[in-house]
Structure 1
Amino acid sequence: MPYVTVFDRGTFEVETGRKLVLALEENGINILHRCGGRAKCTTCRVEVLAGDFFDVTNKEKTAFANKGIDDQLYEDCLRLSCQIIVNGDITVNPIMTVENTGKNAGPRPAD
């Protein structure tokens, strides 16, 4: 099984094929997911630090464009954790969490 490392928070093992947003939440990382994992709000953004990731999805590209986020950012290092399927060891840094925003995480994304 792959390992997910969260910057300044630790490393945990994740079932292959698990959505990153769920893996983070299930391991005590209170990442925001205000739209319930539908790639609409971009609150589940993570900075990609290392690892094997599938290409940026069209849903991600649309969500980032709708929020005015520069395409160079998401091509280089920014992803939506609700759209990432863990398929290998990765290292990420969650951008928006309950702790650093004071906001409610939002509805749990579907499996």
Structure 2
Amino acid sequence: MTPMEQTGQTVRIRVEGYGEVTARAGERLVLALERGGVDILHRCGGVARCTTCRVSFSEGEPDAMTVAEHDKLTEKGLLGQARLSCQMECADGMAVTPLQTARTTGLEPGKTPAETIEPEPQWTTRPGASAQG
């Protein structure tokens, strides 16, 4: 049994241009992507300050979003267009496209994000989320 299988339910995430990534349910998406071979940027270290870890969803976009993510996406004019992979947890059925990678930008990814979402998450609902939850 792999360490991931020992710690909880595994989920599969489809990543445009990279294939499928296996993650733990509840793992930070940015970390699962990086571990799965995606050279996603996280220039601020995964604390919702820079938007370089942004992804777009074709399936499985979570309705929950942190207030920090909402505020940063609003500030940058990206709310409703992208999500911050550092501010969400992996769930089965996600299909994402990384919007900024080391390969496409020539930038270094940045400091490795912590295992848990930072800053301490306060949750809200994303615009356009289903009223049914």
TM surpasses 0.5: yes
> 1:16 maps to what in 2?
25
Give the counterpart letter for 1:85 in structure 2: E
- In structure 1, which of residues 76, 80, 89 is the aligned counterpart of residue 93 of structure 2? 89
Name the CA distance, whole Å, in 1 between partners of 2:39 and 2:78.
25
> 2:123 maps to what in 1?
none
Alignment of 1:38-53 (within 5 A): 38-53=47-62
Q: Highest Rg: 1 or 2?
A: 2
Q: CA deviation at 1:70?
A: 4.3
Name the CA distance, whole Å, in 2 between partners of 1:70 and 1:47.
11
Name the CA distance, whole Å, in 2 between partners of 1:97 and 1:72.
20
- In structure 1, which of residues 47, 61, 73 is the aligned counterpart of residue 70 of structure 2? 61
Name the CA distance, whole Å, in 2 between partners of 1:54 and 1:100.
28
Q: CA deviation at 1:60?
A: 0.8
The secondary structure found in structure 1 opposite 2:56 is strand
Q: Which residues of structure 2 form unaligned runs of 5+?
A: 1-9, 116-133
By percentage of residues, which structure has more helix? 1
Deviating above 3 A after TM superposition, structure 1's stretches of 4 or more consecutive aligned residues are none
Q: TM-score, normalised by structure 1?
A: 0.89
1:110 paired to 2:114: yes
* Percent identity for Structure 1 against Structure 2: 39
Greater mean deviation of Cα atoms: 56-65 or 97-106: 56-65
1:46-76, CA deviations, whole angstroms, 9 ceiling, x for partnerless residues? 0011015242221111111222x14342xxx
Name the CA distance, whole Å, in 1 between partners of 2:104 and 2:78.
23
1:71 paired to 2:79: yes
Give the counterpart letter for 1:36 in structure 2: G
Q: Which residues of structure 1 form unaligned runs of 5+?
A: none
Relative contact order (C-alpha < 8 Å, sep 6+): which is higher?
1
Name the CA distance, whole Å, in 2 between partners of 1:110 and 1:47.
22
Whether the aligned pair in 1 keeps the contact of 2:22 and 2:36 (CA below 8 Å) is: no
- What is the root-mean-square deviation in Å for CA atoms of aligned residues? 1.3
How many residues are matched?
A: 106
